[in-house]
Amino acid sequence: MKPIGALGWAAVFVLAIGCDLDRSESHARRPSPPRLPTPGPVVAQGESVHLALGTPTDASPQDEIVLVKPQYVVSYNRFRNNPNWVAWRLTSSDLGSVGRTQRIFSPDPQLPAGVYGVHHRDYSGGGYDHGHLCPSAERTATVEDNAATFLTTNIVPQRHAINAGAWESLERWSVEKAREGWDLFIVAGGLWEQSCATDRTPQGNLPSEGCPAIGRSADPARRVSIPVSTWKVIALVQRGQGVESVTATTPLVAVEMPNEAGSGSGWQRYVVTVDALEARTGYDFFSLVSRTLQSHIEALPYSGR
- Beta carbons of 214 and 223 less than 8 angstroms apart: yes
Q: State the nearest-atom distance from the C-beta of 278 to Mn ion, in Å.
A: 6
Please, what is the end-to-end C-alpha distance for the chain in angstroms? 32
Least CB distance to Mn ion at residue 293 (A)? 10
Range 241-245 contact pairs with CB under 8 angstroms and sequence separation of 24 or more: 241/183, 242/52, 242/53, 243/52, 243/53, 243/54, 243/288, 243/289
**Helix/strand number for the chain, H first, E second:** 7, 10
- Under 8 Å between Cβ of 278 and 298: yes
Residue 187 CB, nearest distance to Mn ion (Å)?
A: 11
Which residue lies nearer to Mn ion by CB, 206 or 277? 277
Smaller CB distance to Mn ion: residue 199 or 275? Answer: 275
Residue 15: what residue type? Answer: L
What span, in angstroms and rounded, lies between the C-alpha atoms of 240 and 91? 8
Q: How far is CA 200 from CA 89, 109, 194, 206, in A?
A: 32, 28, 10, 9
Residue 13, number of CB atoms within 10 A of its CB: 11
Instruction: Closer to Mn ion by CB, 221 or 279: give it.
Output: 279
Closest C-alpha to 280, from 219, 194, 210: 194
Q: How far is the CB of 300 from Mn ion (least distance, A)?
A: 13
Furthest-apart CA pair in the chain: how many Å? 56
Q: How far apart are CA 84 and CA 76, in angstroms?
A: 6
CA-to-CA separations, 250 to 11, 32, 214, 237, 244, in angstroms, rounded: 22, 26, 39, 7, 11
Q: Which is nearer to Mn ion, 114 or 262 (CB)?
A: 262
- Reduced to 3 states, what is the DSSP secondary structure of residue 253? strand
Q: Which is nearer to Mn ion, 204 or 275 (CB)?
A: 275
Q: Which residues sit at the interface with Mn ion, rule CB under 5 A? A: 132, 163, 284-286, 294
Tell me the catalytic residues.
132
Nearer to Mn ion, 80 or 159 (CB): 159
